[in-house]
Amino acid sequence: MSVRRPRTRGRADEGSALIEFIFGSVVLLIPLLYLIVALAQVQAGAYAAQSTAIDAAHSAARHPSASQNTARDIGALHFADHGLEHADWQIDLSCAGNCSTAGTPVTATVVARIPVPGIPAVLGETRLPAITVRSAHTDLVAPAEG
């Protein structure tokens, strides 16, 4: 009795596992890398907004006379440090009473639109997709030094 061996013809899918692996890796890895970059950009914006709010509130509580200009300078510095020079951000300082009275709460609120990286300005610079982050910090006005 002889054992029949199956015919070994060249199969059509031979060697395609490598191609499928490379294609699948590209399809999965590129969006994953983009998501990581986008999340890092938003996180940098959140850090910049938070540190701007904290430092602006401290500065306004210590030196209320030049607080708005100082707050803008602080914000420009923090956003530039985080690589977000072109982010659209605003800062608002508000007091719960007289800003020169010791113990008065001073609140700095920062609202920033962080652009999503990698998306071209097809619709114009004002219509870029962005994620908005907000941060606020309150500090008390320091007693006058004398």
Beta carbons of 52 and 79 less than 8 angstroms apart: yes
State the pTM of this model. Answer: 0.76
Q: What percent of the chain has pLDDT over 90?
A: 42
pLDDT digits (tens, 9 = 90+) for 48-96: 999 999 999 999 888 887 888 999 999 999 999 999 988 899 999 998 8
Burial 67-94 (b: 16+ CB within 10 A, else e): beebbeebbeebbeebebeebbbebebe
Q: What is the DSSP letter of 18?
A: H
Candidates 89, 131, 93; CA nearest to 111 is 89
Distance CA 87, CA 79 (A): 8
Question: Residue 87: its pLDDT value, please?
Answer: 86
